[in-house]
Structure 1
């Protein structure tokens, strides 16, 4: 098949500590559900001469491309704060696809069967959660936020046992790599400094080649990953995204969003919002995402201690100073991000108070997070009596005065706001409607939703139903395993 694959599997060259060589488990009756043609084009892959049946065989793992060396990666993770030795329990990495011999992408099957890391799991995935990852990851990409992406979803023709019998599926995930904080935790737990050094060198070469000649690669890697992860969570906060399962095995060293299990988008603004059915204590709530990012980075720092300095006390002191600076970096980035959302140029001593007053008003009045900023941008489709509230009107007057400071004007402010505030997000109820239709073999709602989400910063016509928040105050998401 002349598709255009160019596999170069460097991860396979690492010691067996890092992975298990294993093939996907064949499935009974694979069928192509959805193909991301835009992503395929970006990857220089051409599927035009292959029918859907053969595509289904390919993306189910029943037939593998040439030059693949399929593996399951080993990693650990603090899952809701509890350390566990893990690994790809239901995923297989086909290899690393090279584009123009410069860009490297992991091609991974999710839901491809049991591995030695499966523990008591069945190694399979369900159609709904795989389509959900497809929708949300592509939406996050369109929102200009670093993310893993989805190339295909294939149904398996088999049932998967969860609360009841559900249709099985396999997602093909594309990532710049699957190296996680949990990968470092796994190797660190083995207490083999040579393997830890190998992983450090490999990660630097793959993602941060600019520090290859550094005198202290471990320290520089920690600083760079902290910068990327800080910016990532800033972007999540900007659009109201709640990841839902920020375990250390779901934090990549590349700074990409990964794993779209119990994720969702905030509607009525409440910083304590949690949608995940298993997050009983709000560990991964909307407002807790920044401190959890810092917590996860501290776990990475712990792994790197032997490589930062031969003197353990000195290494801990240096790493602690870096991690403790997270809050300062985050607060500066967050304030500037909120200035952009409000179209504020430069700085003013009262900016933080202005921003917090708006957020407090939104929380007190259960205002929709996305639509409030759309209302401020004069989006005519956003009409709600809530914005006739006297406190909001008074706040708006102060905001409009602030816009004129530092040589600003309303027109330039609106342009800045439109670059940072999406007109449309994956509304939780619209995602559920599309998934329910897909379970009944109707993919039109998914295609309609994806079409709208592809242009979140563009004013589109007749999209009011995609902008209206759900009336369901008890929405829950599930991790799908």
Structure 2
């Protein structure tokens, strides 16, 4: 299929040093061309490799890139790898509740790398120049947001949470103009795919049922091939996405992660976390915590994330209605019943997750629910650190902090100890369960900001790499790393920003 050109002319590999070692496929281009525009990334002036994820490269069969200086041109978009047919995807999305037709405004997918295990992953360049979907944007990315995505996505991976990952960051040698002038960069993202709830909304909004059906069957073949023989493939896909998203959001709540932009174009069909713009980890426990500079109403606050996920899934269900049943009324009734499964799945998995955080193997009765609720109420009132509190509970003796001397906490602590006694496990088994569930190290906001500032302004990557190293092993105690557990001074005005 010849590329439909947009932007710079097609590039080839002038040296051929890496030719034949990529294992690209382009299955997405089998979809109707309404879903994409073929175009090459726009070359940059002076690319320099800033970060390269050798372990991820080895995992997906691109480890050879780490030893070849020519690889920087692939990561910058100056050279298209052999076998690639680059394209920008079209999609739609509800952004803070408002529907928009969207698309990759500053990214292109180079293709699908086939890993040594036979898995298929997208290789995408983020910050690669303007596309037809840019909406007057410059198509570029600033260094700090790309470093943030690299850091946080790798931290999430180490936490055991499904996520897109980061393969490389390249500086472009060109300025990017936002509120201020910033150095430009390109991030190489690796994803199971970039199929989103918003991709289905886009197809539905176009009104072509056959295109919608083609997208449905492609998503099933790509991610859930066992559903191909389902009596109702659209309903089966909806049920599966409900399942994986319920698990994902529970994991976010487990570690105090706040996504910040849970628009429907940022919810994947695969169940991976995607788009690390104004995201952060919560320090003091508060369900109302918001770090996004653009979330003025708190729509995507920490405690709202489970409900927003259900709202997004309902938008997916709406898009799939024509494929669920020819009769719209029957389709709506089926969808109502199916979406109701999310609340049940989420609630049961959230309760089990919280019990695991407390070292409890399984729920016995409703008093376990009260135990969880009472702890979270106390944590809110006492304004204690979410991550550190659970790690401290796992210690043989609580730290001598005044916060633990309150009558309310002592009463709760006695009930918790009595509950642990009921399951008859050793304290070491309880602590092991807690420490497998509760990280010791998260990406503390002040440490992230320091690392990004040093990297961007001083071209000093040492703080970044040290933080990345600690976050790569978040559940094990690391000698001499106590400062990485410090939440820092409370900063109620702390904000994170969208890279555009």
* TM-score normalised according to structure 1 size: 0.98
1:461 aligns with 2:461: no
2:164·2:190 contact (CA, 8 Å) conserved in 1?
yes
Stretches of structure 1 lacking an aligned partner (at least 5 in a row): none
Secondary structure at the aligned position of 1:97 is classed as: strand
Q: TM-score, normalised by structure 2?
A: 0.94
- Which residue, out of 249, 252, 267, partners 2:268? 252
Counterpart in the other structure of 1:181: 197
Match of 2:256 among 220, 225, 240: 240
The size of the alignment, in residue pairs, is 480
Rounded Cα–Cα distance in structure 2 between residues aligned with 1:46 and 1:138: 17
| Secondary structure of 1:89 counterpart | coil
**C-alpha offsets along residues 240-284 of structure 1, whole Å, 9 cap, x if unaligned?**
000000000000000000000000000000001000011011100
Q: For 1:441 and 1:256, locate their aligned partners in 2 and report how far apart those are by CA, in whole Å.
A: 31
- 1:328 matched to which residue of 2? 344
Do residues 384 (structure 1) and 398 (structure 2) align? Answer: no
RMSD: 1.4
Moved more, 2-11 or 63-72: 2-11
Gapped regions of structure 2 (runs ≥ 5): 1-16
Q: 1:15-414 counterparts in 2 under 5 A? A: 15-47=32-64, 50-52=67-69, 54-100=70-116, 102-349=118-365, 350-378=367-395, 384-414=401-431
Say if 1:404 and 1:410, in contact at 8 Å, map to a contact too. no
Question: Separation in 2 of the partners of 1:42 and 1:161?
Answer: 36
Greater CA drift, 61-70 or 348-357: 348-357
User: Match for 1:473 among 492, 496, 500?
Assistant: 492
Any conservation in 1 of the 2:36–2:90 contact (CA below 8 Å)?
A: yes
> 8 Å contact 1:381–1:464 — kept in the other structure?
no
Q: How far does residue 101 in structure 1 lie from its aligned partner after superposition?
A: 6.3
3-state secondary structure, aligned to 1:323: helix
1:50 CA drift (Å): 4.2
- 1:397 CA drift (Å): 1.4
Partner of 1:435: 452
CA distance in 2, matches of 1:404, 1:443: 48
SS in 2 for 1:288: helix
User: Is the Cα–Cα contact under 8 Å of residues 345 and 408 in structure 1 kept in the other structure?
Assistant: no
Q: 2:441 aligns to what SS in structure 1?
A: coil
Rounded Cα–Cα distance in structure 1 between residues aligned with 2:114 and 2:176? 34
Distance 2:51 2:397 in 1: 34
The whole-number CA distance in structure 2 between the counterparts of 1:332 and 1:49 is 44
Please state if 1:447 is matched with 2:465: yes
Q: Report how far residue 381 of structure 1 moved.
A: 11
